Structure 1
Amino acid sequence: MNNKTIKWIALGVFLLLIFGGLIYQTMSGSAENVVEEPPGRPAQQSMAVNMFVTDYSELENFIDVSGTTLPDESVVLSAEISGLLTSIYVREGSRVEKGQLIAKVNDAELQAELARANTNLRLSETNLERQKRLLAREGISQQEFDNAEAQYQVNLSEVNLIKARIEKTEVRAPFSGITGLRKVSPGQYVTPGMEIISLIKPDPIKIDFPVPQIFANQIKEGTKFRFQTSGSAEFHEGTIYATESVIQANSRALMVRGRFNNEDMLITPGSFINAKVLMEQSDSAILIPTVAVVPILNGQQVYLFKNGKVKPQEVETGTRMANKIQITGGISAGDTVITSGLLQIRPEMEVRAAEISSTSN
């Protein structure tokens, strides 16, 4: 290789180094510019959450209980005196009126005794009138007149006693109602207390059910309840009119009695019922979604939306339902409660509405 060739090679290497240095400086300067002057970042957007606008609502809080229906009056009619049952004057399942004759025990012997007693009474009455006239003329002593008067009173008492025994041979309805099934037949010998036929008064109907002890103080005369009989979807409305005086020791429940107008005979006494007892009623209750309430150390709180930011607010709660809860203190109608993103939001954090709901929708 001659000297001329070597010179050209050296010149080419020199030029290559120069151009490489220029390219490196250009690239390095661009990188420095990127670091020193970063492009502007887009503004961070606020978090989107669901919201609920509070308002006054109607609230009816019920408790579920089970109970039994009872007739307003119920009795098993029985004989008061021994004897042969001569007649039963009513059919089973028929309607009877108060005082109506239901059955009769043979009173033939008593009627004979009554006839004899009446005869003796008439004789003693006649003798008393005679003795009174004689006493007026001083024909007898006062003692003789007193004896005649005493005999009259004895005979009168005997007549009244036999009449009372005859009345006991008649079995009458103590109230208007419907008869049940007969327990005896005519011709059967009955004794005092032997059951003859049952009688009930099915209108109005009574309804007995236990209320748990924690609700006992809320039960008042006039408290309303709804009930349905087993196997029926129809609800009826009754009214509580009486309660037991003590809590039952075995169940820790208060026995309650209500009444239902059963003039259409819709309810059969003795039926099992399910009832809903009205514990609380209000037309100005504040109800919010249950998910909006967050437990805290000393109570519960919600997050309000005010001026575009999150504001925590402690609240007092009342009745809890399936998906809503009553707020009794802490917020007012018209406040906006946040119902989603509760784990991500923080006090004073800016948020925006993704969806807004209210009591009316």
Structure 2
Amino acid sequence: MRRFKIYFIIATILSALIFIKAKFFTSDKGKSNTANKSSDRPSTPVSVFVVGNESIEPKVFATGTILANEATELKAEASGRVVYLNLPEGQFVKSGTLLLKVNDAEFQAQLSKLKAQIKLASSNEERQRQLLEINGISRQEYDNALATLLTLKADSAFVQTQIAKTEIRAPFNGLIGIHSIGPGAYITPAVTAASIYQTDPVKIEFYLPEKYSAMIKTGDQIKFRAEGLKDVFTAKIIIKDPAVDTDSRSIRYHAVCTNTGGKLLPGTFVNVELRQNENSKTLFVPTEAIVPVTNNKIVFVVKDGIAKEKIVKTGIRTEDFLQIISGISVGDSVVINGNFRLKNEAKVKVVKSKERVAVNREE
């Protein structure tokens, strides 16, 4: 029994020692190992760009389409057989030129009949008026004669309106497109006889992101190149849409350009370039420095071998650079290669440094 008590006391002491060791010594060693592993973690190799104040003439690029200054489809308002056709394809016509005539024989007959009736009613109204002046007839009799004359004139005006609907006249000076009908064809208001285009001047339609709204305005000039042409054309912005398109978050612009030689064809694809006034102090970084995150844009700035995350506000975009409005300063080393695998406070090793350069200067 005494021996059993001795064994029990020894087992209790050993258990206590094991517990004390595990509680107060093993944890510190684990922490030490973890710290050593953390301190031994290799640095991530990165390339950086040194930010500087650039005196630049920033460019904004967009794509667009050439539009005719005016364009419309030519359709008759009345149905019938075509009795006159004057649609010179690809040729210039003046405003008001008669281009197409639908058979209006029925209306012309009605008009002739009404003209004869109006002549008779006019003579009758004149006689009734003279008799009224000498009290030869009552006022009611004269009013009936006048009402008959006015009714016939209204009917005549209506028939003349119907005759006008059988004609298609050029709504403005322009070029006639390819027509789809021939003499003797039966047409309805749903049939497009041809289209007419006013191509001097032409309009350039393009869209820009809403962030450029305050920078690009009516009166600014643009340069553009048309698909298939080597020439560089200049146009002036005449319209800025007062509303932002909610689907694309962009604003539509129209610029006007002279087209005396007829080189610019409606529907042609164009590349548009806009140049802004020179900014004396503007921060720009290469576009690859920007890391998009939820609701923000960040860059990594390297200092003393540590990459720190900075939230930035951006402005205009050029071909290779992006304007930084706030978030970094002149002289900061911004990571431009290797930034997408970095985390805040990560250790880095700069393997290549790129000094600031002139951005989009006029040649």
TM-score over 0.5 for the pair: yes
Is the counterpart of residue 124 in structure 1 residue 134 in structure 2?
no
Distance 1:241 1:193, change over 3 A: same
- Does the 8 Å CA contact 1:242/1:258 hold for their aligned counterparts? yes
For 2:317 and 2:88, locate their aligned partners in 1 and report how far apart those are by CA, in whole Å.
Answer: 54
Give how far 1:319 is off. Answer: 7.4
**What TM-score comes out, normalization by structure 1 length?**
0.64
**1:109-188, aligned counterparts within 5 Å?**
109-188=106-185
For 2:134 and 2:91, locate their aligned partners in 1 and report how far apart those are by CA, in whole Å.
Answer: 65
For 2:251 and 2:206, locate their aligned partners in 1 and report how far apart those are by CA, in whole Å.
Answer: 8
- Aligned partner of 1:34 in structure 2 is none
Is the counterpart of residue 72 in structure 1 residue 69 in structure 2?
yes
- Aligned partner of 2:277 in structure 1 is 281
For 1:325 and 1:250, locate their aligned partners in 2 and report how far apart those are by CA, in whole Å.
Answer: 24
Aligned residue pairs: how many? 267
The alignment yields a C-alpha RMSD, in angstroms, of 3.8
For 1:56 and 1:62, locate their aligned partners in 2 and report how far apart those are by CA, in whole Å.
Answer: 14
Distance 1:300 1:240, change over 3 A: farther
Distance 1:207 1:320, change over 3 A: closer
For 1:66 and 1:171, locate their aligned partners in 2 and report how far apart those are by CA, in whole Å.
Answer: 36
For 1:73 and 1:276, locate their aligned partners in 2 and report how far apart those are by CA, in whole Å.
Answer: 24
- Does the 8 Å CA contact 1:228/1:273 hold for their aligned counterparts? yes
Distance 1:277 1:146, change over 3 A: same
For 1:193 and 1:324, locate their aligned partners in 2 and report how far apart those are by CA, in whole Å.
Answer: 52
Give how far 1:193 is off. Answer: 3.7
Unaligned runs of 5+ in 2: 1-51, 287-298, 303-313, 332-357
For 1:154 and 1:89, locate their aligned partners in 2 and report how far apart those are by CA, in whole Å.
Answer: 36
Give how far 1:240 is off. Answer: 1.3
- Aligned partner of 1:37 in structure 2 is none
**1:206-355, aligned counterparts within 5 Å?**
206-278=203-275, 280-282=276-278, 285=280
- Does the 8 Å CA contact 2:60/2:318 hold for their aligned counterparts? no
Any idea what SS the aligned residue of 2:171 has?
A: coil
- Does the 8 Å CA contact 1:287/1:324 hold for their aligned counterparts? no
Any idea what SS the aligned residue of 1:128 has?
A: helix
Residue type at the aligned position of 2:104: D
**1:47-86, aligned counterparts within 5 Å?**
59-86=56-83
- Does the 8 Å CA contact 2:87/2:179 hold for their aligned counterparts? no
**What TM-score comes out, normalization by structure 2 length?**
0.63
Unaligned runs of 5+ in 1: 1-53, 292-297, 302-316, 332-336, 338-357
Any idea what SS the aligned residue of 2:219 has?
A: coil
CA deviations 1:144-179 (Å, max 9, x no partner) are 111011101111111111112112211101100000
For 2:121 and 2:317, locate their aligned partners in 1 and report how far apart those are by CA, in whole Å.
Answer: 84
Give how far 1:60 is off. Answer: 2.4
Give how far 1:285 is off. Answer: 3.2
Any idea what SS the aligned residue of 1:85 has?
A: strand
Is the counterpart of residue 94 in structure 1 residue 85 in structure 2?
no
Distance 1:169 1:60, change over 3 A: same
Any idea what SS the aligned residue of 1:218 has?
A: coil
Question: Percent identity over the alignment?
Answer: 32
- Does the 8 Å CA contact 1:247/1:253 hold for their aligned counterparts? yes
Any idea what SS the aligned residue of 2:90 has?
A: coil
Distance 1:113 1:175, change over 3 A: same
Larger Rg computed on CA atoms: 1
- Partner of residue 101 from structure 2, selected from 84, 99, 104: 104
Give how far 1:135 is off. Answer: 1.5
For 2:58 and 2:228, locate their aligned partners in 1 and report how far apart those are by CA, in whole Å.
Answer: 24
- Aligned partner of 1:36 in structure 2 is none
Moved over 4 A (4+): 54-57, 286-291, 298-301, 317-328
